[in-house]
Chains A and B, each alone.
Chain A
């Protein structure tokens, strides 16, 4: 459990004051909280639902629930704001996943699309385009390794067996590809 200990973030004074400011009715602090945590919540929602549209809605729901709770002073230890947000996100996403199978179909035309962050969407589309271009530069086998492991969720041993490669070769190729692509795009995003 040492690894788990290492993962727990230290108490953040900024988060403490942020929670207290929201409790005190500071609207600027609310905007700050949304801008600080929106992306992280979205990433978590995508990872758990694998559905970007649903993740967008869930991000809104999570942030609204967090703000409501903070306004009402439900967060007892304000230093644990990230853990509180993560817990809220986990619960709401699990609720969504539980009810998804029971949700009825509805006509798309009748759904009113809420206003969205157009710049964010454009950036996301551009990132997706760049990622696709980068992926297409990989060999077919490399793409299959990523598909089988990242999308289909097969363990590397099975991927190796399917592609008639050694386990070590698959591991090395996957690791190399992920490092390359992560390095490239994380660097691009930071510029």
Chain B
């Protein structure tokens, strides 16, 4: 017995992923019973698989480009922070102190500002002198922080793709790269606020400018919150499925107590053989579904659909699998098909998850319609659908406000 040989042939991971040759499986398991080291190796990989299956949706929704961008963050953020600090420090040092300006008249202030503009050193000079200047004027640094920044908290969804992408968008723009594929608008830098800090006195007009800059900072943060909210609205928890019998035979009973099997036979549509095939494929698919293997489940369910295209449960769970595989656009059609039978118990969940698919594909109007339908249909998801409906409406209102042209 040689554990190294097992390692070399990657038998442990083949065993965990279910790809080990059945001829070898028994012998491997006999070895496993006697080898604590291999037991540990299998256990570790089982833990890895278990954890990944639990977080499958999260892992699938992370795009590799975002993660690659994240690696650049620290490298790109350092020079960006230094440059912003130096330039900001330069302007802040040049800005009049609030207590001094309060004592001076408006005329004197304007002349001092114009004199400063004429006397501005080159950026290189500013860079060399700003560090010491910033230290000698700590109060100026306080003014550099946007007024609204201290009051508002960042969105509390650190793991959301929206939040990540907003971070990376700042970094990438600083590094001179193209903007990432993100639903979030780019976060504005502090540069537009700088002239206001330099040239405006702490008068009523100045405070108005401060409010404006705070609003700008606030709106950027708001956009981030909008993206986070959109992400939260699109999060999907897969509905549970239990093997308490084949739901198709239970639920699809037509009027007069006749089952659909006979009905479809009379119609000349799916034959009993086809239904049996569909049932087998559905069960295999749902076996994979309950184990969190959504890809395999989707494959089986896709094969089951042609055999019995009207089966609401097959279409419904196919749609869910597509959602779990982060393919919301592909989830729309199966979920719509699941709505075909109005008496099916899948009507309300189909509306609900269809709305989720629309949220993920950024069709909020359609999502609102579907959440409304889910809320209007009796079932367990009514409260949740109502809550989602109001949140989608609020989100749409915010987005419409943002889209409207801002007045100076």
Taking beta carbons and an 8 Å cutoff, which residues of A are in contact with B? Answer: 3-4, 6-10, 12, 37, 39-41, 43-44, 46-47, 50-52, 82-83, 85-87, 89-90, 100-105, 127-128, 131-132, 135, 139-141, 143-144, 146-155, 163, 175, 178, 181-182, 185-186, 189-190
Q: Are A37 and B244 touching (Cβ within 8 A)? A: no
Q: Are A52 and B50 touching (Cβ within 8 A)? A: yes
List, in ascending order, chain A residues with CB within 8 A of B52's CB: 135, 143, 146-147, 150-151
Closest 3 CB pairs of A and B: A140-B67, A7-B27, A140-B62
In the bound complex, how far is the Cα of B41 from the Cα of A6, in angstroms?
Answer: 19
Pick the residue among A41, A47, A127, A147 that contacts B15 (CB under 8 A).
A47
List, in ascending order, chain B residues with CB within 8 A of A152's CB: 293-296
List, in ascending order, chain A residues with CB within 8 A of B60's CB: 144, 147
Q: List 16 A-B contacts (CB under 8 A).
A: A4-B23, A39-B39, A46-B46, A82-B33, A131-B51, A132-B51, A135-B51, A135-B52, A139-B71, A140-B64, A140-B67, A143-B62, A146-B48, A149-B13, A150-B52, A186-B44
Q: Are B293 and A89 touching (Cβ within 8 A)? A: no
Q: Are B67 and A7 touching (Cβ within 8 A)? A: no
Q: Are B40 and A141 touching (Cβ within 8 A)? A: no
List, in ascending order, chain B residues with CB within 8 A of A43's CB: 32, 39, 42-43, 46
List, in ascending order, chain B residues with CB within 8 A of A47's CB: 15-16, 18, 42, 46
Q: Are A189 and B40 touching (Cβ within 8 A)? A: yes
List, in ascending order, chain B residues with CB within 8 A of A40's CB: 32-34, 39
B267 shortest CB reach to chain A, Å: 29
Q: Are A151 and B44 touching (Cβ within 8 A)? A: no
Tell me what chain A mostly uses at the interface: helix, strand, loop, or mixed.
Answer: helix
Q: Are A105 and B44 touching (Cβ within 8 A)? A: no
Q: Are B24 and A4 touching (Cβ within 8 A)? A: yes
List, in ascending order, chain B residues with CB within 8 A of A10's CB: 1
Pick the residue among A12, A90, A128, A178 that contacts B29 (CB under 8 A).
A90
A30 shortest CB reach to chain B, Å: 17
Pick the residue among A103, A128, A153, A178 that contacts B293 (CB under 8 A).
A153
In the bound complex, how far is the Cα of B18 from the Cα of A90, in angstroms?
Answer: 14
Tell me if B53 counts as interface (CB < 8 A to partner A): yes
Q: Are B44 and A44 touching (Cβ within 8 A)? A: no
Q: Are A7 and B62 touching (Cβ within 8 A)? A: no
In the bound complex, how far is the Cα of B22 from the Cα of A4, in angstroms?
Answer: 11
Q: Are A186 and B37 touching (Cβ within 8 A)? A: yes
List, in ascending order, chain A residues with CB within 8 A of B66's CB: 140
Taking beta carbons and an 8 Å cutoff, which residues of B are in contact with A? Answer: 1-2, 5, 9-10, 12-13, 15-19, 23-24, 26-34, 36-37, 39-53, 55-56, 59-60, 62-64, 66-68, 71, 242-245, 283, 287, 291-296
Q: Are A151 and B293 touching (Cβ within 8 A)? A: yes
Q: Are B64 and A144 touching (Cβ within 8 A)? A: yes
Q: Are B19 and A153 touching (Cβ within 8 A)? A: yes
Q: Are B68 and A3 touching (Cβ within 8 A)? A: no
Closest B residue to A128 by beta carbon equals: B47
In the bound complex, how far is the Cα of B322 from the Cα of A130, in angstroms?
Answer: 30
B217 shortest CB reach to chain A, Å: 30
In addition to A6-B5, A140-B66, 14 A-B residue pairs with Cβ atoms within 8 Å of each other are A39-B36, A39-B39, A41-B33, A43-B39, A101-B283, A103-B243, A141-B68, A146-B49, A150-B17, A150-B45, A152-B294, A152-B295, A163-B64, A186-B40
B48 shortest CB reach to chain A, Å: 6
In the bound complex, how far is the Cα of B383 from the Cα of A165, in angstroms?
Answer: 44
A56 shortest CB reach to chain B, Å: 13
Pick the residue among B42, B43, B59, B245 that contacts A143 (CB under 8 A).
B59
Q: Are A3 and B24 touching (Cβ within 8 A)? A: yes
List, in ascending order, chain A residues with CB within 8 A of B45's CB: 150, 178, 182
A61 shortest CB reach to chain B, Å: 16
List, in ascending order, chain A residues with CB within 8 A of B29's CB: 44, 86, 89-90
Interface centre among B5, B36, B52, B66 (most CB of A within 10 A): B52
Pick the residue among B41, B49, B68 that contacts A151 (CB under 8 A).
B49
In the bound complex, how far is the Cα of B53 from the Cα of A157, in angstroms?
Answer: 21
Q: Are A151 and B33 touching (Cβ within 8 A)? A: no
List, in ascending order, chain A residues with CB within 8 A of B42's CB: 43, 47
Closest B residue to A134 by beta carbon equals: B48
List, in ascending order, chain B residues with CB within 8 A of A135's CB: 48, 51-52
List, in ascending order, chain B residues with CB within 8 A of A12's CB: 34
List, in ascending order, chain A residues with CB within 8 A of B19's CB: 153, 155
List, in ascending order, chain A residues with CB within 8 A of B17's CB: 149-151, 153
Q: Are B30 and A8 touching (Cβ within 8 A)? A: yes
Pick the residue among B13, B37, B43, B62 that contacts A150 (CB under 8 A).
B13
B385 shortest CB reach to chain A, Å: 25
List, in ascending order, chain A residues with CB within 8 A of B53's CB: 147, 151
List, in ascending order, chain B residues with CB within 8 A of A8's CB: 27, 30
Q: Are A37 and B49 touching (Cβ within 8 A)? A: no
In the bound complex, how far is the Cα of B17 from the Cα of A97, in angstroms?
Answer: 17
Closest A residue to B246 by beta carbon equals: A101
In the bound complex, how far is the Cα of B28 from the Cα of A140, in angstroms?
Answer: 32
List, in ascending order, chain B residues with CB within 8 A of A86's CB: 26, 29-30, 33
List, in ascending order, chain A residues with CB within 8 A of B55's CB: 132
Q: Are B5 and A128 touching (Cβ within 8 A)? A: no
B224 shortest CB reach to chain A, Å: 20
Q: Are B56 and A147 touching (Cβ within 8 A)? A: yes
